A and B are shown apart, each in its own frame.
Chain A
Amino acid sequence: MMDSHASMTNLPDSAEGQAHTPHAEEEHAHPDWSIYWKVALILTLITVGEVWAFYVPSFAASRGFVPTLLFLSGLKFTIVVMFYMHLKYDHRLFRVLFTGPLLVASITLIGLLFLFGHLHIKIM
């Protein structure tokens, strides 16, 4: 895949040797099987943990339940995006294209929940 990208920078017209060096994709070793199965294992364990937490009534009723689940879900989200979608190894542009909209989306979600009275801001 890397060399296919590199060859795309070949500009037929730039043979005159103009001072032009396109920013080729940073070369990083892609993760392979040894990382992939560990990632899958971690994802499975987190999922098992989440479902287990759901079935512990004392924990499910406690204040820590929702934040814990949100944290675990966010963790899984991040792991898949970083390793399976190889954002960790890929061009910086892709990170911007994903995190920008994700940020706008998250803030919109929080704003809407507040406006519809599901979240409360305490003044004083």
Chain B
Amino acid sequence: MATTARPAPKHSPDAYGEHSGLWSWLSTVDHKRIGVLYLYTALFFFMFGGVEAIIIRAQLGAPNQHLVSAEFYNQLFTMHGTTMIFLAIMPLSAAFFNFLIPLQIGARDVAFPRLNAFSYWVYLFGGIFITIPILFAVAPNDGWFGYAPLTTRAYSPGINIDFWVIGLLILGVSSLAAAFNFLTTIINLRAPGMTLMRMPMFTWMAFIVQVLLVLAFPVITIALVFLLFDRFFGTNFYNTVSAGADPLLWQHLFWIFGHPEVYILVLPAFGLVSEVLPTYSKKPLFGYPVMVYSGILIAVLGFGVWAHHMFAVGMGPIADTFFGLTTMLIAIPTGVKIFNWIATMAQGSIRYTTAMLFGIGLVALFTIGGISGIMHASPPADLQQTDTYFIVAHFHYVLFGGSIMGIFGGIYHYFPKITGRLMDEKLGKIHFWLTVVAMNLTFFPMHFSGMLGMPRRIYTYDAGQGWDLFNAMSTAGAMIFPIAMLVFIYNFFVSRKRGEIAGSNPWGAGTLEWTIPSPPPEYNFAKIPTVTSRYPLWEGKGIDYECARINSQEGKTPADLGIVMPYSTIKPLFVALGLVTMFCGLIFARALIGVGAALMIFSLYSWLLSPLEPEHH
């Protein structure tokens, strides 16, 4: 179908109004629409993972409860972690990568628009694949890190772990494809004058995240392939009993991926606040080059700290010392970022919008998580804290206090750019304060229950160990989250329909994405801008303003401007469908493997042999 030219669509000021049919979404290759698809899907999975968390907290609210069975509890905490990491936070970041990277660097799309659609569809199908089992109580049940040999067939005979192994392999394809795409886009599609050291900080952090993805995901892929082979073909990679396999192999491979993954989760949020804080302080980001270098340093050091997740296994004094030291070292560039954000706000004329509040929330709450992180960088301290609720408190301050706060800040900040309308500030502030109260009430007491010895992943506990009060507090806090989310969802959908019209730059921000209409036309920039500074709208030269003037005009079609747009195509969806069908075949019916592979190869060839866009002159 992609070979027949489609009439040039008109730009509509209503959010993609004219092309809102289902088919247009299934066949879109527009990075902005794919970004929106990522956003909606990831928000759905975020709430799904949230419901799992609430059931967990309800179960732990008081001693000796049996709201759910112990087996189902295992599935809940496994899927809560897996969902939040792979189906919520990473794709929420991907939503922003998609929507913002081309806009921030002055490009008309990503380098490979169809590959971009492919990434999304693989994510969606993979997400459904790994989520469905919990509805039938056969979900993965060995924790989000799936430690082998526990996850081998001998100890986990059911299909639960099969879903986990295959699901993560599928999601890895999506992440890798997207990473190559964004990496190429940032390297090669920057507008004239958009040098590396002029790139907006979000794009910089996105760039670093893509490098981490490209290097970390192959390792987990291989670890998962070993596990898949062990489970399906009887290999011995994790067979510690009869073949003499090393029980630490999985742990090492997993954490070589797992620690960079932590930065994959948090750096996009760091990038978002680095856009939010300067905008609402009316000041350029403080120490921009240092922010860049600290980001790079975090990425490099991020590959040399993995074994701090494994101090308890007894690696010996040399390894413990090495990984303890590198872990303490990596706190320095992270701390530098915190100070730079504070210095950005210092003496600025601050507007306390919802986005700004979430940004400040990140700076405050992530710092708490960062500091407790340094505490268990020391192996002797870690031996006391590991596998207790202290660790749970730590990484929720990092992931909720860091990633989620930053992402919500980003949503409030960029909602007008995405939809053309402003979100309601009053409801936004209610959402913010409910979230802050819920977050601290839930996770701060976990520091104490952890210090008092409450282990992670236990189904229930006896009264009288000093944990009751803290657990009751955590559960009470968790019950506030749904209220906060309802406020957010209501605000989101009502504002989308009836919010105030935003205009191209409602916040008076300084970067390129604010020079174009909201929502942006499908070609983004009527004229590819020429960039002379980091904040073209704040400190640019004549040419910056001239480009901004041209690009802010609404209502021009690509045909008016002589811009060639890529064809929309359904083929990436079919390739993704074929890929996932192929993997499904391993569990359900071997015949599906052939069907899926045939569909995938046929669609792939059809995709590669059809032109991306009409010939242009």
Contacts and interface: CB of A to CB of B under 8 A. Distances in A.
A93 B215 CA distance: 17
Contacts of B429: none
B192 A14 contact: yes
Contact of A104 (B215, B252, B307, B315): B215
B214 A14 contact: no
Nearest to A115: B319
Contacts of A101: 214-215
A22 interface: yes
A112 interface: yes
Contacts, number: 39
B528 A11 contact: yes
B303 A116 contact: no
A64 B16 CA distance: 68
Interface in B210-258: 211, 214-215, 219, 246, 248, 252, 256
B192 A22 contact: yes
B530 A18 contact: yes
B318 interface: yes
A108 B215 CA distance: 11
B302 to A, nearest CB: 10
B301 to A, nearest CB: 12
Interface in B313-362: 315, 318-319
B527 A121 contact: no
Given A18-B543, A104-B303, A112-B252, A13 B527 contact: yes
Interface in A76-96: 93
Nearest to B299: A104
Nearest to A22: B192
Contacts of A104: 215, 303
A108 B530 contact: no
Interface in B514-533: 527-528, 530
Interface residues of A, number: 21
A20 interface: yes
B187 interface: yes
Contacts of B214: 101
Nearest to B562: A12
Interface in B246-297: 246, 248, 252, 256
B193 interface: yes
Nearest to A111: B304
A105 B530 CA distance: 38
A61 to B, nearest CB: 26
Contact of A11 (B192, B256, B307, B319): B192
Interface in B416-436: none
A114 B321 CA distance: 14
Contacts of A111: 304
B246 A14 contact: no
Given A20-B192, A101-B214, A115-B307, A121 B318 contact: yes
Contacts of B318: 121, 123
A115 B252 contact: yes
A43 to B, nearest CB: 27
A86 to B, nearest CB: 19
By CB atoms of chain B within 10 A, which of A18, A104, A105 has the most?
Answer: A104
B315 A115 contact: yes
Interface string A3-46: 00000000111100010101000000000000000000000000
Given A18-B530, A20-B192, A93 B246 contact: no
B303 A108 contact: yes
Contact of B192 (A18, A105, A114): A18
Contacts of B246: 116
A22 B193 CA distance: 9
A42 to B, nearest CB: 31
A18 B315 CA distance: 60
A100 B193 CA distance: 26
A112 B307 CA distance: 10
B209 to A, nearest CB: 15
Contact of B256 (A22, A93, A108): A108
Nearest to B543: A18
A15 to B, nearest CB: 11
Contacts of B528: 11, 13-14
Nearest to A21: B192
A20 B193 contact: yes
Contacts of A121: 318
Nearest to A18: B530
Nearest to A101: B215
B130 to A, nearest CB: 27
By CB atoms of chain A within 10 A, which of B192, B256, B304, B562 has the most?
Answer: B192
Interface in A45-102: 93, 100-101
B237 to A, nearest CB: 14
A63 to B, nearest CB: 24
B419 to A, nearest CB: 28
Nearest to B317: A123
Contacts of A100: 211
A54 B159 CA distance: 47
Interface string B435-449: 000000000000000
20 contacts: A12-B562, A14-B192, A14-B528, A18-B543, A20-B193, A22-B192, A93-B187, A100-B211, A101-B215, A104-B215, A105-B215, A107-B304, A108-B303, A114-B319, A115-B248, A115-B252, A115-B307, A115-B319, A116-B246, A123-B318
Given A13-B527, A104-B303, A108-B256, 16 more contacts: A11-B192, A14-B528, A18-B530, A18-B543, A20-B192, A20-B193, A20-B530, A100-B211, A101-B214, A101-B215, A104-B215, A105-B215, A108-B219, A112-B252, A116-B246, A116-B248
